[in-house]
Structure formats: C-alpha cells, structure tokens
Amino acid sequence: MSDGGITILDGDTLRSLHVSLQDDTVSLTGGQVLDLAESEASQSLFGLSLPQHLKSSALRRINIDGVDVDVDFRRTELSREEASRKLSEYLSAIADELKGIDLGSRPKNPLVVSILDGNALRMFLEDEDDFAMIAENLFTDLDTEDKGKISKSEIRNAVVSMGVEMGVPPPEEVADALAKKHIAVIHNIKIVNGSELRKVLADEKKLIEVIAKISQKKHDGKNDQKSTEIIRDFLEKSGKELGLPPSEANEAVILLYDAVFADIDSGKGASEGKDEFRKLVKEILEKFAEQLEANPVYCDLDG
C-alpha cells in the first residue's frame, strides 16, 4: 500500500509469498528455518532488515517466547515437514504482526517506509521550477554580499559542494545508483486509525471508567463551562491512552478535533444531565473512531 511518497507495509505482500524448501532438503535446524523465513520476508519487503521488535513479536505468536525457548528451538533438528510448517507459520506471524491482527494485546503498527529509487532526485535535476524553489531557500545564505542576485548555476554548485562536504556523492551519481538498486528506509511513524479507540468503545467497563474520569473533570470545573469544552480538554490531555493521536502531533490532529467538535457543537453540546453527558462522551468517541477509520493520522511513533 502506497500513499504520497511513503509505502505502508501491512503484511499483504507476505501473505501471497510461497516459500518452498529445496528438493534435497531432508531436515533443518530451527535456526535455519527462522533465518530462511526472515531472509525471504526481507526480500519481499524491499530488502529491509526486519526490526528486532517485529521478529520478537512474531516469534511470540508461534510460541517461541523467551531466550531459553528461542535457543532451544534454534538447536532443534526439524524434519522436512516440520520445517516447512514452521516456516509457513513464522511468515504468517510476521504478516499478522504487520497487519495488526490482535492476540489480546494492543494493536501493532505496520512499517512505514520510503523507497528511494532516484526518481525524486532525478525530477529535481531535470525540473527547473523545482530547482528554482530550492534556490530560493538557499538564497539568503548564499547572498553573502547582499547583491540580491545569484545565478541558478551558482546555487546548483553550492548544493553539490554541500553534499560532497557531508560525504554525499553528486546528485547525478546518487540518482544513477538508486535507479540500479533501490533503498528502503523505515520511518518512525505510527498510524492511528481508530482501532484502539474502538476497543475502548466495545469494552463497557473501560468506557464507564473513561466517562467517570471526564465526569469528575466536569464536577471540578467551572459551572459555566460547556460539556464539549470539558470533554475536549480531557481528550487533548489524555486521549493518547484511549488510542487518539497526541493533540500536539501535527495540523491533521488539530483539524480532526475541530471537525469532531464542530459537528457536536452544532447539536447538543450543552447537555448537562448524567445520562445525556454519558451519551455525549460516547458519541464524541464514536465520531473520532469514524473519522480516524476514514482518514488515519500519521504521527511520531514515540509521540
């Protein structure tokens, strides 16, 4: 799955991957099976080295959990049939982990990557308009004599020189190299799509706890403060625990909050009764879940 310069690796590619053992294979150790699965998965995912957390989580899915269990399994001699079955199980587990198929824990995240194939760099080299835009950003730094004029060729040379100083080859060489061998880069990005929030909505006990916390904020707050203001304030501060993106993450999150509460404010935003307040909180959370499912938000994985 691709989206505007980035690619989402959510396990679909691995599900269509069929790996067979060589015809002359009689047996393999568990370690050889795991190495083969990881190698095949890596090749299927643009040559990326699988992150350790992804491999560890996938191994837990096939009951290889803990250092001792891992070591014992890697030393175990497996028949051809056992090796083939475990190979398939491990690849499926990696795919499930990327897809976020839940095993009772919080949903996992797919890998968000950029595929560097030289196309963007080549467009920069060939498109005068794009080059001029970059030139404007460098203008102030390069116009040391404050003449107000710098040629595009001077800026181009400056960009090349800056790259060489940092150990980067000239753009032409980089573009050619990437065209021959693409490079995939993993981004530290989390995709918030409402899945965690829907779990809260489906868990009556958890939902009651959330409503109780917000109700306490209402009780402690000013009498003239609208219910929607109290709820929004709580979610902006504590929404991450419910599966909402951090309110300070980016402009998309601000627009998300504005869209949800604008819709609510146009209706029954001033509900005061206990039952009405409970319904209002649930309605707002449901609207967040709907919005995030339709338009997932990308934010920092550590945010």
Q: Over the stretch 221-277, which tens digit does the pLDDT of each residue have? A: 666 678 888 899 999 999 888 989 887 767 888 899 998 998 776 545 444 678 888
Residues 293, 193: contact at Cβ < 8 Å?
Answer: yes
The answer on 6 and 110 residing in a single domain is yes
178 phi/psi in degrees, rounded to 5: -70, -30
Q: Which domain holds residue 231?
A: 190-300
Q: Which domain-ending residue is among 163, 181, 199?
A: 181
Q: CA-to-CA distance for 78 and 81, rounded, in angstroms?
A: 8
Which residue bears the tokens 């699988």?
50
Residues 231 and 261 in one domain: yes
Residues 277 and 219 in one domain: yes
Measured CA angle at 53 (ends 48, 54), to 5 deg: 55
- The owner of tokens 């790259």 is 163
What is the count of structural domains for the chain? 3
Predicted pLDDT of residue 166:
45
The contacts of residue 236 (CB under 8 Å, 6+ apart) are: 247, 257
**Mean pLDDT across 30-59:** 91
Q: Dihedral angle at the C-alpha atoms of 124, 127, 133, 135, nearest 10 degrees?
A: 70
Check whether residue 295 and residue 195 sit in a common domain: yes
